[in-house]
Amino acid sequence: MMNRLITSLFILTMILMSGQVLIAAPIINEIMYTPASPEPEWVELYNPEPVAVDLSGWSIIDASGAKGQIAAGSIQAYGYVVIARDSAKLRSVRSISSPLLQASIPSLNNSGDLVALRDGAGVAIDSVLFDSSWGGARGRSLERRRESDPAGMAASWGSSVAPAGATPGERNSLAPPGLDISIDSLRFIPDGSTVTAVVRNTGTMPSVAAEAILFNDAGGDGAGGAREEIQRRAIGVLQPGGSVDIAISWPRPLTVAGERGLLMLAMPGDERPYNDTALVLIRPAASDGVGGAISEIMFDPLPVGGASGAEYIEVRNLNAGPLSIAGWTIHDGSSGTKGTIAITAPPIVAGACALFASDSGIYARFPFLRDSANVVIVGVSGFSLNSDGDDLVLRNAAGITVDSVHYEAGWHRREIGDTKGIALERISMAGPSNDSRNWSSSPAPLGGTPGARNALEIAPVVTDATLTAEPPTVSPDGDGFQDFTRISYSLPSSDARIVATAYDRYGRPVRRIANNELAAVSGELIWDGRDDIGRPLDPGIYIVRIEAYDDGGAGLFAAQATVIVARRL
């Protein structure tokens, strides 16, 4: 690393000593130095000037002095050009609207390198000596935030946040867009059957006339077909940073299984269409306060001894005394089937669990359960949990909903890959049942902890502070040890919305934990020590800040806590 740095500084020093002066355009705008196979490495140039530039004979060099020369090509005024070693291979994996030039650009080091741009006469046009800590790892490009930002500063660059991981030939995802509106928050209010949203102008220019269109996404494809449209609302002009609240009634009858509401924004010239769509689950509010919580779900079990494995649902007694489960029913939202617990089922003692299994195959996978009195074999033909997601509703003998969870396969950790035979565990019993942040993959050797304390569970902590993080250290490596931290807060108002953000030591936001969510006087959020795209953050000290606002947008409360992201040795 030190030798490479010395070499790079030597190259830059020689450029300056030769009297060559860096000029305005074009600039190095985006670098893909760690692509996912089969994508080749590439460099994007942007021309911020009103005249085209002939790139014939120009070259790109790296820290070692290796040079790749452009045989022929040009870059238009205010246009982009992408340069790659294998243009055909790059087009096979990405759709690029700008010119794509082929040149034998040097192979860039994954730990960091120099990328310097010279014209045909050898004059230095632009250069950046980047480090992997600036961003751009694991298949995401390194993007320049603004064209006017100095190329040699870490603060000028960052990892692409585009869904595709890069923006070759297009405006960088980190660059402030001109025309852009986005869905800031979306929720369904069962009382009144209304979908409410906050639409914000996140661009640098006033927005133009737009529409918010609500669909019943019956097909589940997120496309919003013409036959699925419910209603639409006009959105007037919004100034940069401005927002508007939208309310659209849902005319369809509510069902326990729920339906997928899809909200889409339509604005001509929107530069970031990927933030114009959001989903919301439409279903009745669950009754609460009966002292039980669904704490673990095995929806895709491993087969054992030639027979399919047993699915199970674990329920925790949160009461201080015994909880009777006699006559309770379990509803599978997708198929409408249910299982009824026999009236002879024993009560669950305080803090213990009951296990509702689809069949006796549960004992083959977890033989220690044979001695448990709290295993209930539901034994209902056809009771089956979907492996991609489903609704689970637990009701007591009086028909009151005890708890409900709309789980999804995507709640598993991304890095696991094959999740068959791995249960979803609830992290906080006091946390919300339907918050994906409150669930994750069990790290237990057998794939689950049925009838026992969850391996991921974080015990509640009593505190007088307004904001705490417990445990104060999070280790996002998926080993079951401090993979999550609970952010607990107390607010001075019972009618507030909160925004919770994690910042690195430079004050840069790295994760939006909660975005304009309705909050009670006290509550909690779960954070896994990862950034907005699911990557484990680098070890270090991070600040989690919660801000609360009233319905008019006035600030009510702000507090912050320190969280240490670490790696277990």
- Look at residue 170 and tell me if it is in a domain: no
508 and 415 in a common domain: no
Straight-line distance from the first to the last Cα atom of the chain, in angstroms, rounded to the nearest whole number: 24
**Mean pLDDT, rounded, of the chain:** 84
Angle 479-480-482 (CA atoms, 0-180°, nearest 5)? Answer: 105
Residue 22 pLDDT grade (very low, low, confident, very high; cuts 50, 70, 90): very low
- 564 lies in the same domain as 428: no
pLDDT band at 19 (very low <50, low <70, confident <90, very high): very low
Same domain for 30 and 96, yes or no, is yes
CB 170 within 8 A of CB 273: no
Q: Kind and range of the H or E element at 93? A: helix 87-93
CA 491 to mean position of chain CA atoms:
26
**563 and 534, same structural domain?**
yes
71-105 per-position pLDDT tens digit: 999 999 999 999 999 999 999 999 898 999 999 99
Looking at residue 321, its pLDDT comes to 75
pLDDT of residue 568: 64
Cα 76 from Cα 142, distance rounded (Å) = 23
174 within some domain: no
**pTM of the entire structure?**
0.42
Q: How many CA atoms lie within 13 A of 447 on its CB side?
A: 21
Which pLDDT score, from 0 to 100, does residue 465 have?
46
**294 shares its domain with 366:** yes
What is the DSSP code string of 504-522? Answer: -TTS-EEEEEEEEEEE-SE
Yes or no: say if 123 and 130 are a contact pair by the CB < 8 Å rule: no
- Is residue 185 in some structural domain? yes
Domains in the chain, number: 4
Same domain membership, residue 485 and residue 451: no
Same domain flag for 381 and 432: yes
User: What percent of the chain has a predicted confidence (pLDDT) above 90?
Assistant: 41
Same-domain status, 483 and 472: yes
- Residue range 379-401: mean pLDDT, rounded: 77
Rounded average pLDDT over 124-140: 91
Q: Regarding predicted confidence, which is higher, 560 or 493?
A: 560
Please tell me whether residues 388 and 433 are part of one structural domain.
yes
Chain-centroid distance, C-alpha 551? 26
Q: pLDDT value at position 138?
A: 82
Residue 545's CB is within 10 A of a number of other CB atoms, namely: 16
Q: What does the pLDDT read at residue 9? A: 46
The least confident of 140-144, 421-425, 513-517 is 513-517
User: Domain with 384 in it: what CATH number?
Assistant: 2.60.40.1260
End position of a domain, from candidates 238, 254, 282: 282
pLDDT band at 182 (very low <50, low <70, confident <90, very high): very high
Domain boundary among 239, 254, 282: 282
Examine the pLDDT at 126 and tell me if it is beyond 50: yes
One domain for residues 387 and 479:
no
In a domain, 175, yes or no: no
Q: What is the pLDDT of residue 335?
A: 62
Distance CA 103, CA 176 (A): 30
pLDDT tops 80 at residue 464: no
User: What mean pLDDT do residues 225-231 have?
Assistant: 92
Residue at 268 is within a domain: yes
Per-residue pLDDT for 488 more than 50? Answer: yes
Question: Is the pLDDT at 380 greater than 60, yes or no?
Answer: no
Give pLDDT, residue 230: 94
**167 occurs within a structural domain:** no
Whether the pLDDT of residue 239 is over 90: the answer is yes
Q: What is the mean pLDDT of residues 230-254?
A: 93
| Residue 286 pLDDT class (50, 70, 90 cuts) | very low
List the single range of 15-19, 27-31, 337-341 with lowest mean pLDDT. 15-19
pLDDT reading at 462 higher than 50? no
Q: Which residue has the higher pLDDT, 163 or 30?
A: 30
Q: Pick from 282, 306, 337: which residue ends a domain? A: 282
Residue 503 is part of a domain; what is its CATH number?
2.60.40.4070
Assign 3-class secondary structure to 12-54.
HHHHHHCCCCCCCCCEEEEEECCCCCCCCCEEEEECCCCCCEE
Res. 477: pLDDT tops 50: yes
Over range 218-247, report the average pLDDT: 91
Is the confidence at residue 322, as pLDDT, over 90? no
* pLDDT of 498 higher than 80: yes
Domain assignment of residue 243, given as a range: 181-282
DSSP category for residue 90: H
Residue 379: per-residue pLDDT? 61
Would you say residue 166 lies in a domain? no
Percent of the chain with pLDDT over 70: 87
- Tell me whether residue 339 is in a domain: yes
Q: Does the structure show a pLDDT above 90 at 320?
A: no
More confident residue, 289 or 30: 30
Q: Which residue has the higher pLDDT, 70 or 284?
A: 70
207 and 249, same domain (yes or no): yes
In whole angstroms, what is the distance from residue 558 CA to residue 491 CA? 9
Q: Which long-range contacts (CB under 8 A, 24 or more apart) does 93-97 make?
A: 93/38, 93/39, 94/39, 94/164, 94/166, 94/168, 96/168, 96/169, 97/169, 97/170
Whether residues 545 and 464 fall in one domain: yes
The CATH number of whichever domain residue 258 belongs to comes to 2.60.40.10
The two structure tokens encoding residue 529: 């020590």
